[in-house]
A and B are shown apart, each in its own frame.
Chain A
């Protein structure tokens, strides 16, 4: 079990605010930090890793106290057994794929490196430098490197945001496999609702100042609807036509057009919506 509470003054587009969180994460679960940009998701991940110091806080991981501001306890970042996958991958440019993974190990174990290279499909690329790899390949190396550290906690900061749909699905499967096979508690920062539905057992919603434990992803995203068929989409365009509005949405990789009454809420490009069907009529709800 991970007990984490912290207060930290942050600066967002709308001004200064104090992030206040008090959460418990069950051991071995894959959970998501979800919320708009600038609400403190990455900062929270960095505070857990020890890369950012909270104004005050408490962090206990599997019975070990990593941070206790009241008792002035703060375990240095290099003593916290975490695997951190950065948004920009942060691979060492001077090392090959194999050397990147070897570097993460406490004691050099070539056999384990070989296993990781095989699991992540990196065998052929093992002697290449990161600059010669594609985004998806770099992401796999970053994950393999984080696992090689044998972490108690895997922290993933929007790791799939820059990848295409196919690569994203493939790495999502690998993430699920890692969580299942190795049982490492994993925190995933993500904006992608489908990704959270597919991977996570629990969602923590960041709402500006506070963080709420919403339980299963379904509780957060579809609590207000009873439609049986439903998708999460994003508004690309909203055109007013007399008494109706024509919304162009993208669901997965497919653009669709949906007609909604003009009186039904305001939509802007970029809005996330839930599309459901009830008695053959499409229902759109802004998320």
Chain B
């Protein structure tokens, strides 16, 4: 029953999800902020490129990526020669697939949150003598926090359920590039519905746990603020 908890698919899924969410966080925020700026040809190109994995059929995208990242592909050859990195049928291919499908959700959420933000607070910070970096860290990021968390949740959900691109780039090699989603696919394909059900429940629990964790950090600061305000009111009430 519990053998799936120690199996390679769970370990691989956890590893890939954790790294891809971290990468989506690091890459998605600057990209989202960049394309939220004033419209320019470069911004439009970046915007289209980041949106592509969201609307492009996964199998077709996987195939194009296979051509690009294969050892004879444009980027594949470069990565192999410069870094000695093989993308196809390896962990890196799985990671790239999880990263690329979730990234648009992160970028779009950050872009929307930044566009909704009142621009005068950024101008106010500049008139107070603050540098662009201070404004980013102290004003912009705290005020788009909701968008960042929503983006991470959506990106994580999409990456966790990724099958199409992982199948093509990873090759679905049991024990090496078989994620939980692919393990469910394999179990169904083999007619082992009991294993497929257990793996599906495990995958769902994993998704729910991360949603609760991310939402928890989002609402924790809200509740802490409410508790802090109530304490202050109580103190004032006692004084008076």
Residue numbers of A with Cβ under 8 A of B are 49-51, 77-84, 86, 88, 90-94, 103-104, 106, 124, 127-129, 132, 145, 149
Contacts and interface: CB of A to CB of B under 8 A. Distances in A.
**Secondary structure dominating the interface of B:** helix
Contacts of B129: 78-79, 81, 106, 149
A81 B126 CA distance: 10
B125 interface: yes
B138 interface: yes
Interface stretch (B101-109, B168-176, B210-218, B224-232): B224-232
B205 interface: no
A91 B121 contact: yes
B6 interface: no
Given A103-B138, A124-B236, A127-B228, A90 B126 contact: no
B142 A83 contact: no
B127 interface: yes
Contacts of A104: 128
Contacts of A81: 129
Given A90-B120, A94-B142, A127-B229, A49 B127 contact: yes
Given A77-B126, A78-B126, A93 B138 contact: no
Interface residues of B, number: 22
A77 B127 contact: yes
A94 B123 CA distance: 16
B118 A129 contact: no
Contact of B123 (A80, A86, A91, A106): A86
Contacts of B125: 92, 103
B124 A86 contact: yes
A31 to B, nearest CB: 19
B81 to A, nearest CB: 43
Nearest to B143: A94
Contacts of B145: 94
A86 B228 contact: no
Contacts of B118: 88, 90
B15 interface: no
A149 B236 CA distance: 30
B198 interface: no
A145 B127 CA distance: 11
B127 A84 contact: yes
5 contacts: A51-B126, A84-B123, A86-B124, A92-B138, A127-B232
Given A104-B128, A106-B129, A127-B228, A90 B123 contact: yes
A78 B120 contact: no
Given A104-B128, A127-B232, A149-B129, A51 B142 contact: no
A128 B121 CA distance: 18
Contacts of B142: 94
A92 B139 contact: yes
B220 interface: no
B228 A51 contact: no
A63 to B, nearest CB: 20
A82 to B, nearest CB: 6
B40 interface: no
B130 interface: yes
A61 to B, nearest CB: 14
B87 to A, nearest CB: 40
B131 interface: yes
Given A77-B123, A128-B229, 20 more contacts: A50-B127, A51-B126, A51-B127, A77-B126, A77-B127, A80-B127, A81-B129, A83-B127, A84-B127, A86-B123, A90-B121, A90-B123, A92-B121, A92-B125, A92-B138, A92-B143, A103-B130, A104-B128, A127-B229, A149-B128
A284 B232 CA distance: 55
